[in-house]
């Protein structure tokens, strides 16, 4: 959990890729718009804030699953690409998710 000295991150940029992707530059999602759409939903970002809230660092990785409907899921790896304003993830932190390989783009 966050220490009292840690400052709240204003923004966190996360990349995501399929858990079984061959490399970080290849997101392994085969242009899967459904996974991308589900990851962009507000409840997924709220889930990440709640589960991973507290001190985070660039390079941290979390394995999560995305609900693709009808009991189908896709495992993804979510990686912290950058933090602005602090190192503590809270409900007030703006969360941006981009496909792996797009992390350098703004």
DSSP of 20-56: T-SBTTB--STT-HHHHHHHTSHHHHHHHHHHH-EE-
Question: Any idea where the domains of the chain sit in the sequence?
Answer: 11-21+32-99
Polymer length in residues for the chain? 106
Number of C-beta neighbours around residue 28 at 10 A: 17
- As a whole number of angstroms, the distance between CA 99 and CA 105 comes to 10
Domain 11-21+32-99 maps to which CATH number in 3.30.200, 3.90.930, 1.10.3470, 3.10.330?
A: 3.10.330
Which CA distances in Å does 49 have to 9, 74, 102?
11, 20, 22
Spell out the per-residue pLDDT of the chain, length 106, in tens.
444 557 999 999 999 988 887 665 666 676 567 888 899 999 999 999 999 999 999 999 999 999 888 888 889 999 999 999 999 999 999 999 998 877 544 4
Model pTM? 0.82
So what's the pLDDT on residue 106? 43
């Amino acid at each position: 959990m966050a220490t009292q000295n840690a400052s709240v991150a204003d923004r966190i940029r996360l990349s995501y890729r399929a858990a079984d992707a061959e490399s970080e530059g290849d997101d392994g999602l085969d242009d899967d718009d459904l996974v991308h759409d589900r990851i962009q939903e507000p409840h997924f970002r709220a889930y990440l804030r709640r589960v991973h809230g507290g001190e985070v660092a660039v390079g941290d990785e979390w394995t999560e699953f995305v609900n693709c409907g009808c009991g189908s899921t896709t495992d993804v790896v979510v990686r912290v690409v950058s933090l602005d304003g602090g190192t503590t993830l809270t409900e007030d932190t703006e969360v941006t998710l981009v496909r792996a390989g797009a992390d350098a783009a703004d």
